[in-house]
Structures are given as C-alpha cells and as structure tokens.
Amino acid sequence: MRIATTVAEARAAVAQWKSEGLRIGLVPTMGFLHEGHESLMQAAAEENDRVAVSVFVNPTQFGPGEDLDRYPQDFERDLAICRKNGVGLVFHPTAGEMYPPPFYSAVRVDVLSAGLCGKSRPTHFEGVCTVVCKLLNIISADRAYFGEKDAQQLAVVRRMVLDLNLPVEVRGCPIVREADGLAKSSRNAYLSPEERQAALVLCRSLREARALADAGERDSSRIMERISGLIASEALARIDYVEIVDAVSLQPVARLEGPVLIALAVFFGKTRLIDNARISLP
Ligand code: AMP
C-alpha cells in the first residue's frame, strides 16, 4: 500500500495504474475510519482494480465555531484499516498541500446546497465540492464512492459531476449502522454514554416514520410532527431540522410521493448528528 502526502506522489501512483489499464475507485474520507468507510472501500474493491482512499480533514467545509480543531484523528489506525481492506493508495495531504496560498478558487452547487444542512452550515457544501473536485483532479478515478448517510452531500456531488462534466461515475452506498441502529459516524466518538443512548432517538424516529408511511400516511407535515415530537421528548436532543424532501431535487414535499428523503439533524450536547431514510412510494 502506497502512502502519498503530496499531490505529485498521488498523481505518480495513479499514472502508473492508468498506464497498466487498471480501473480506479476513490473513497474520499476525513479519516477516523469506521465500518461505514470500510463498506465504501469494499464496494470500490468489487467494482475496480485498485482502491484509493483520501484521508483529509478538509478545513474549508467547517464553519466558524465548528469542530475542525477537535475532529478525531488516528492516522495509524486508519492505515491499518486501509491495509486490511486491500487499499492500494492512501492520499493524506496537509492543508497547505491542498490549499497553497493564495487560494482563490471554489466550486459551488446552488439550490441543492441551500436547504437541509446548508441552512445551518452555509459554507459547508462549497468546501465539500471544492475538495472533492480537487481530489478527483488529483486522483483521476473511474468511480468515486460516497455514503447515503450524507444524502445531501451525495446529491450535491452527483450534480457537480454532471454539471461540470467530471469524468467519473459517482456511486452511493447504504448507511452502515451500529447493532442498536445508530448510524456509524466519526463524530459518535464525541458522545458521552448518556448522549450516545439519547442519540438512538434518530433511528427510532426514522423507523416510526417508515411505519407511518407503510400504514398509508402520506401527509409530510403529520409525519414530521410525529418525528419532532419523538425527538423533543428526548431531554438531551436539540433539533436542527426535521424535513421531508424529494430525494433528487431535495425540495420539501407536502405529500409522500415517489422517492423521498426523511432527513434529520439533531444536536446531542455539542455534537450534531445527521441521519436519514429514503422511502420510495409508487
Ligand atoms: P467522512 O469521513 O465522515 O467525511 O465520510 C466519508 C464518506 O464515508 C462519506 O461519503 C460518508 O457519507 C461515508 N460514510 C460515513 N459514515 C457512513 C455510514 N455510517 N454508512 C455509510 N457511509 C458512511
């Protein structure tokens, strides 16, 4: 497994693979890897000849006062996980390598970035798009893998790739959960035992929403009220948003028709967690 810390090293490794006609899958991450990330590596390994993983805590996708300074990191452990999954290249640049000053450019995807997480994190998706675009230009992968856990990010990246004709196929992978249902996240490491227990209200309310839809409920506001009530009854939870949106346009829908996304962002103490469920109705 090669470890590249500079753009030039990463490009050289990729160029060699390309010269051998090998297909490359890229898994962009911020590190502190868990089984969610591993599922992306495994999907990439199944569909490509070589897997590249980037481990980069991207400063431009954090807003002021967010957790950039305390974001969990353990690069040695990340390397062991990558090795175990047969990864061929780990790209681990510094912020200076990715954003050499003066850095004046950015990639922005309007409309899709505005709602949901974009409301409380107005600069987040511009940071995500800029870094993903750069990573794809550095590691010219055939396919890039993203988790459905970050459903808005996946929709925004898909749009960017289409709009900008980036020569890569975007693949979405299902949410990986803990045994008790909590979606795996590097940020779960922040939770106290009490907050960890309280956070189960996320998957519980998504299960409840699914049950209501299965029972024939089609009114979005009634489902949102039920979910909000459930979350509000959890003393340690503070709602950022509860929304039901069209799964492709990410625009709010009054009724459950076609594929919709039930999306949640909730604070437990200082930790903001997101989760979602995709429901496809005829
Ligand atoms: P992150 O390191 O949190 O930026 O995540 C890197 C990639 O892993 C993103 O595409 C995430 O959507 C994906 N990911 C994170 N957690 C999960 C999960 N529990 N299940 C599936 N994919 C995930």
The atom number, within ligand 1, closest to the CA of 184 reads: 19
In angstroms, what is the span from residue 106 Cα to ligand 1's centroid? Answer: 22
Distance separating alpha carbons of residues 86 and 64, to the nearest angstrom: 37
Give the pLDDT of residue 243: 98
Give the pLDDT of residue 139: 98
Give the pLDDT of residue 10: 98
Atom 7 of ligand 1 has which residue's CA nearest to it? 29
Which residue ranges in the chain fall short of pLDDT 50? none
In angstroms, what is the span from residue 175 Cα to ligand 1's centroid? Answer: 8
Amino acid at 213: A
In angstroms, what is the span from residue 37 Cα to ligand 1's centroid? Answer: 6
Q: Provide the terminal-to-terminal Cα distance of the chain, rounded to the nearest Å.
A: 46
Residues involved in catalysis: 37
Cα 10 from chain centroid? 23
pTM for this prediction: 0.98
Give the pLDDT of residue 281: 84
Give the pLDDT of residue 274: 98
Give the pLDDT of residue 282: 75
The atom number, within ligand 1, closest to the CA of 149 reads: 12
Distance separating alpha carbons of residues 188 and 32, to the nearest angstrom: 11
